[in-house]
Amino acid sequence: MATIALDNTPEMTAFEPDVATTAPEPEVAASGETTPAGPPTASSRQSKSYGQILKSSAVIGGSSVVTMGFGIVRSKAMALMLGPSGVGLMGVFSSISDLTRSIAEMGINSSGVRQIAESVGSGDEECVARTATVLRRVSVILGGIGAAILLFFHRQVSQLTFGTQARAGSVALLSLAVLFGLVSDGQGALVQGMRRIADLARMKVLGAVYGTVLSIPIVYLLREDGVVPSLVAVAGMSIITSWWYSRKIKVRRPRMTAGQVRHEVAGLFKVGSAFMASAAVMMGGAYFVRVTLLHRLGYEAAGLYQSAWGLAGMYAGFVLQAMGADFYPRLTGVATDDGACNEMVNQQALVSLLLAGPGILGTLTFAPTVIALFYSARFVAATEVLQWICLGMAMRVIIWPVGFVILAKGAVRIFFVCELAWTVIHVALVTALVPLLGLKGAGVAFFASYVLHGFLVYAIVRRLSAFRWSRENRQYGVIFALSISSVFAAFQLTPRPVAVSVGALATFAGSVYSLRTLVNLVSADRLPLPVRRLLGRLRLVPVSPPG
């Protein structure tokens, strides 16, 4: 590792996270003059914290809306051109790529995000520069190693996955997607660690654009033979996007000795090994589920599951992405203060629940319509498994903020044990339930595994930081749990028109309730004027008279 070349980017003199400052804002006196703000009260600090969470969620969520639009076009095109079996094939190839990347990456991107976030929080520019330099170089090396591994074992992987070596050539070509993806991940880790939320959102939007513009023509021309080339093309374009935004970060070029390089690499691998192991078991579990469905139920069932999985995570996904993009680096900065850490987790969990709850209710209610919109009528058989996966996603949204405490405190071994336990439970349930319930069994297994995972994570974090759910979280959690359970039960026990009516009413009521609660968490004067006016028309906030 001593031969890693130094960063050749122009020298910069400072680094600056792309987030709003937390310094007290000046107050405006009646005369129009500004006066220095006094010490922030607990209420103002909470309002500002909720504002930061909502800001990052809004930025990521806004990009998710754009991404969703391109996703509709891409999913629809793929469904019409490939059908359920082709979509299932794409899902299986994606799981092979994801599993290989998670192993070859060695967890250094996650550990790099953590180290950069810690250094940013302490103002250590030199440490940020060293970590960024080494992270970029090592990502390229590990990308080459991962691609070489998949290329070397492409026949064995094809035999294990598909039961034949007929697709070995496609698996070999997939090694390029692994290489491109790992290089891109290394550059994206720097952007995330610096909390440049707007740039992360732009990268996401551009990824959706490339995914649509490149994949549709390739698959149209080559049909199933174009699945892997489309994955490679999209991964290749991600390098350009991540490079463009990572190079904009103002990081000073460091002068590093061979010993400093070894020290940085050792630090990345020490923490990253646990991230790698946990990511490998998680991706391995996802790979196992798809291979199980492929072997037991066929390509069509695998495609139905893939479509349900993509739709269930689409709405909740922007909440989870905002957690990883902004919440995790912020939580790392206060990880040594249990009180501040627990308060931040409760705030994030509350906002996440309020944002995701109505979307989950809506997806449960209008599942067949959503499936037909995003795919085609041939995929409506995925409705039931989609509803079960939605229940699991609801649990994921609730428990993820708590689980980040384990990462922020650097308890990587405990984190690995938690992920391993979840994967073992998930795989065991899939193995037991798919033969009994068919495709629905995979959805039931996902939901049940997250229920058990939630109890485990909460118990561990309770010991790590004396964490307790706040009164507000308990209250809102019960309300949404009852709403989601009622809608799900209605679809199981009543005629479909009745169930849809119940679900539509719950979705509307949940949306109004969430919006009103979110507005109350952040003072109205912190909202942009157009948003205030819109909420004023809805009678959710008072509108100041024109002056």
Q: So where are the chain's domains?
A: 65-297
Question: What value, to the nearest 5°, has the Cα angle with vertex 356 and ends 23 and 196?
Answer: 35
Q: Supply the pLDDT for residue 4.
A: 30
Q: What pLDDT score does 444 carry?
A: 94
pLDDT at 130: 75
Angle at which helices 412-437 and 439-465 cross, to 10°: 160
What per-residue confidence (pLDDT) applies to 426?
92
Please give the Cα distance from 351 to 521 (Å, whole number): 9
Residues with pLDDT less than 50, the chain: 1-42, 545-547
Q: Residue 31 has what pLDDT? A: 36
What whole-number distance in Å separates Cα of residue 201 and Cα of residue 322? Answer: 10
How do residues 367-423 score in pLDDT, each as one tens digit?
A: 888 888 778 778 888 888 888 998 888 888 888 888 888 877 877 788 888 888 998
Closest to 134 measured CA to CA, from 4, 327, 320, 282: 4
Give me the pLDDT at residue 123, please: 65
pLDDT the model gives residue 40: 46
Alpha-carbon distance 448 to 17, whole Å?
39
Candidates 197, 175, 176, 179; CA nearest to 188 is 197
pLDDT of residue 541: 55
